[in-house]
Amino acid sequence: MDVTTSRPQPPTAPFVRLFGRYLREQGLPVTQQRQAVAEVVFGSDEHLSVDDIEGRLRAEGDRIGKATIYRTLDLLVRSRLVAEHDFGEGFKRYEHRLSRQPEHEHLICTECGAVHEFKSREVQEIKREMSERFGFRTVRHKLEMYGLCRSCQEAGVEPEEDGLTCPIETI
Amino acid sequence: MDVTTSRPQPPTAPFVRLFGRYLREQGLPVTQQRQAVAEVVFGSDEHLSVDDIEGRLRAEGDRIGKATIYRTLDLLVRSRLVAEHDFGEGFKRYEHRLSRQPEHEHLICTECGAVHEFKSREVQEIKREMSERFGFRTVRHKLEMYGLCRSCQEAGVEPEEDGLTCPIETI
DNA sequence: CTCAGTGCAAACCGTTTGCAGAACG
DNA sequence: CGTTCTGCAAACGGTTTGCACTGAG
């Protein structure tokens, strides 16, 4: 593969090297499998499932066992270079935290599965309030909005209703 | 068991009847197992796991199969009388939505597992913004703050650190 | 060389499903 | 009485783990 040809994303090599540095700091071997998994994760701006990662590795000719992928993702998450997400699909997704806003929230379209990221200053406010009011020290948080993205609404999809005919008051 | 003795919580019977009404509306049988599960869920203000529910049923002499509990919880969630949560523990938790604020967010202590509820007006603001800026129509959301509750901090617990020595900038 | 990593397959574990017998309406 | 439910046990599926072999340092 010609590294000099144009790439859609910034080069991933420096990020992979950063992961290598983390491994060395921890006294762990920098293996080619670990580098290959890191390359895939840092080379995409999507929220990848383990199957996605396995597929992309295979597409590049790498045949890496799922167990190794899981073990490597564990290291990537521990290094704080990668974030793990559970969007309630029954499996986890992974996204790297480099070269874009490391802290962001998610908009998830329940129709087409599209994931959009956004920043929210309100969350900082909430953290402060929780500290003041309850003495709670927030270490991490999760803010996800589930609904319909613009294009699914324009395609005529409606959010499905259910529940008791006499609804519980909401808000 | 004497129903006339004092109870810690408001009586659950009306809530169970509400569930019965939902079942009838849907043309589904109101079985004693379904009522027993509903009784347990409406009778607690905690976030119960399936094992919790099974245990409480057994404590009252009811022996109901896990499959039935799962199937009944599915109905309770569909009726909108009960909310399902995944706090990343590897299993789900359930909480009824009656006689307290039906919409609220969660504070989860990663040390002792305590769950505290709070209301956030900021979330409404975020919904509005997402609609304006991205045309996203929010149907539901998830806001969870993970960290240390006051008592765990007072007990001297510190949030554990990890990651690369040169940290990625955070907020 | 030695210790940790890898790959495979089996184990795990919460949840779901198929099916014979029991209940609801 | 027919239709749906229940309970059991087996199946499921994402993830984890045990172990013999390979590879990094």
What is the pLDDT, as a whole number, of residue A9? 60
Per-residue pLDDT at B2 exceeds 90: no
| A124 and B CB contact within 8 Å | yes
- Residues 4 through 63 of chain A touching chain B, CB cutoff 8 Å: 18, 21-22, 25
Per-residue pLDDT at B1 exceeds 50: no
* Chain B residues whose beta carbon lies within 8 Å of the beta carbon of residue A97: 168
Which candidate from A102, A118, A149 shows the least CB-CB separation from B168? A102
* CA–CA dist B89, B52 (Å, integer): 14
At residue B161, φ and ψ (nearest 5 deg) are -105, 165
Q: Name the nucleotide nearest A68; use CA and C1'.
A: C6
Q: Which domains does chain A have, with CATH numbers?
A: 1-99 (1.10.10.10), 103-160 (3.30.1490.190)
Interface contacts (A, B; CB < 8 Å): 158
What is the pLDDT, as a whole number, of residue A155? 95
What is the pLDDT, as a whole number, of residue B166? 67
Instruction: Spell out the SS3 assignment of chain B.
Output: CCCCCCCCCCCCHHHHHHHHHHHHHCCCCCCHHHHHHHHHHHCCCCCEEHHHHHHHHHHCCCCCCHHHHHHHHHHHHHCCCEEEECCCCCCCEEEECCCCCCCCEEEEECCCCCEEEECCCHHHHHHHHHHHHHCCEEEEEEEEEEEECHHHHHCCCCCCCCCCCCCCCCC
User: Is this model's pTM higher than 0.85 or not?
Assistant: yes
Q: In terms of C-beta density within 10 A (0-12 exposed, 13-18 middle, 19 or more buried), how is residue A80 classed?
A: middle
* Residue with nearest Cα to nucleotide C9 C1': A67
* Of B168 and B153, more confident: B153
Q: What is the mean pLDDT of each run of 10 residues along chain A (171 residues)?
A: 47 93 94 97 96 96 96 97 96 92 92 94 96 96 96 91 66 39
Which candidate from B86, B141, B145 shows the least CB-CB separation from A141? B145
CA of residue B4 to C1' of nucleotide D15, angstroms: 49
CA of residue A72 to C1' of nucleotide C1, angstroms: 26
Tokens 């992974």 belong to A94
Please state, in angstroms and as integers, the Cα–Cα distance from residue A72 to each residue in A54, A67, B57, B154, B161, following that order: 12, 9, 42, 36, 19
What is the pLDDT, as a whole number, of residue B159? 86
Q: Mind listing the pLDDT tens digit for each residue in B61-120?
A: 999 999 999 999 999 999 999 999 999 999 999 999 997 787 899 999 999 999 999 999
Q: Tokens for B106?
A: 């969660």
CA of residue A162 to C1' of nucleotide D8, angstroms: 31
Per-residue pLDDT at B154 exceeds 70: yes
What is the pLDDT, as a whole number, of residue B4? 40
Per-residue pLDDT at B33 exceeds 90: yes
- Residues 59 through 118 of chain A touching chain B, CB cutoff 8 Å: 78-81, 86, 88, 97-98, 102-103, 107, 109-110, 116, 118
Nearest residue in B to A84, CA atom: B88
Residues contacting A171, CB < 8 A, separation 6+ = B103, B124
Q: Indicate yes or no: CB of B107 within 8 angstroms of CB of A134.
A: yes
* CA–CA dist A89, B87 (Å, integer): 14
Residues contacting A25, CB < 8 A, separation 6+ = B164, B165
